[in-house]
Amino acid sequence: MSSRENSLRALEQIGKILSEQVLHSKPLTLEIPVRTLANVVWDPRSKLLKLGSRKLRREFLDMGEARRFTQTILMLSLIVRAIREGDYPTIRDLYYAGKHTIEYRDEYNRLRREETWDDQKESDSVIQDIEVLTGFLREHMGILHDTKGKIVGRIRIRSGADVIDCSRMGDGAYSIPPNPDSLEILGLEADYVLVIEKDAIFNRLNKERFWEKSKCLLITGKGQPDRSTRRMVRRLWEEHNLPVYVLTDADPYGFYIYSVYRSGSITLGFESDRLATPEARFLGLTVTDIYEYKIPRNFIIKAKDRDIKRAKELLNYPWFKQSKEWVKQLELFLEKQEKVEIEALSGYGFKFLTERYIPEKLYGSKWIE
């Protein structure tokens, strides 16, 4: 049974609970795990952000919750209808499909109007409630969104009736579909996954056929990765035991991108146990690399205020705070206030990255965890 069918069962189950409440004249109530920061906890054992045990009761007959309760039921019905009719709406489609004005008369018989939701933030948030309520990701439900990920290397994938060989993409790549859980990984020959922050660097390593020479899979999420790219990386690590290395610029934005692959974003903490790769390793560039590789002074970029701010934030993330090496890197950054792009290595020749830097880091075990 596909993940979409499974999620339909879970959605219908909620409908069943609600209809039984009606039939037994009980107040309509949903129990939804709390998604706010206060209920997102760092689990050091799994090295993941997880939802805590707090749940909230959402009641239709509570004036303060009637709106959100109605929104939840509206979204549930939209998703169930889409699955039953074989539609694949985007999150924005769902926003529009559900958006309408409810007219009603209040206790003084005045005509009043209420929008089902005012903006997409509201409808997206309801979708997240439904994710934690059912335990299925919106991707499982066939809800679509922008995708950013690309993959190349010796991996064969079945998607629907097609078998895709990601080592036969020429100079292009396979664009990772919105729901990586629908992919069946038929086989792979690779020793590790190299996640590359920058699309242009991915294109270069692909053009050099680095994945063939170094027996790896190349993946990029084009900067801050989308959920599909993160899920794909997670599956390769979890199901195929591939070590995952992340290659970024030496700046807090690069470290943050690594952090998202590794432990999830704090606002999406509840999805980390399916999207994050807690053992992902940071291959660099590190702050110390700037000085160890003697990056020329005129390649170094002065940190901006937002870099400083972000570095301070990162120092508060449990997975950075508890790592001696990361504390050292971030404190050195805050002291020097200097950053460097990965392309700066091209000052030593275009082959330096693939023939010196990556092998030195990989085979010298010089990554950070």
Determine contact, residues 7/136, Cβ cutoff 8 Å.
Answer: yes
Reply yes or no on whether 95 is catalytic: no
Of 96, 104, 108, 317, which one is the catalytic site residue? Answer: 96
Q: Which residues in the 95-154 window bind a second copy by CB under 8 A?
A: 95-97, 99-101, 115, 142, 144-147, 150
Q: Which residues in the 51-90 window bind a second copy by CB under 8 A?
A: 82, 85, 87-90
Determine contact, residues 284/325, Cβ cutoff 8 Å.
Answer: no
- Based on CB atoms, which residue is closest to a second copy, 30 or 74? 74
Q: Which residues in the 252-311 window bind a second copy by CB under 8 A?
A: 296, 298-299
Determine contact, residues 197/248, Cβ cutoff 8 Å.
Answer: yes
CA atoms of 151 and 217, how far apart (whole Å): 7
CB of 32 to a second copy, least distance (A): 26
CB of 207 to a second copy, least distance (A): 4
Residue among 171, 239, 305, 335 that touches a second copy (CB under 8 A): 171
Residue among 29, 70, 323, 346 that touches a second copy (CB under 8 A): 346
- Based on CB atoms, which residue is closest to a second copy, 203 or 272? 203
Q: Give the binding range for a second copy (CB under 8 A) out of 40-48, 170-178, 259-267, 319-327.
A: 170-178
Sign of CA dihedral 186, 191, 195, 199: negative
Binding of residue 355 to a second copy (CB under 8 A): no
Residue 270, amino acid? F
User: Which helix (H) or strand (E) segment is 188 a member of?
Assistant: strand 184-188
Could you give the C-alpha distances from 136 to 9, 66, 133, 143, 273, in angstroms and in order?
11, 24, 8, 11, 12
Q: Is 339 helix (H, G, I), strand (E, B) or coil?
A: strand
State the Cα angle at 276 between 273 and 278, rounded to 5°: 95
- Based on CB atoms, which residue is closest to a second copy, 12 or 208? 208
Residue among 21, 182, 288, 323 that touches a second copy (CB under 8 A): 182
Sign of CA dihedral 230, 233, 238, 243: negative
Binding site for a second copy (CB under 8 A): 82, 85, 87-97, 99-101, 115, 142, 144-147, 150, 157-164, 168-179, 182-183, 198-201, 203-204, 207-208, 222, 296, 298-299, 341, 343-347, 349-351
Catalytically annotated residues: 96
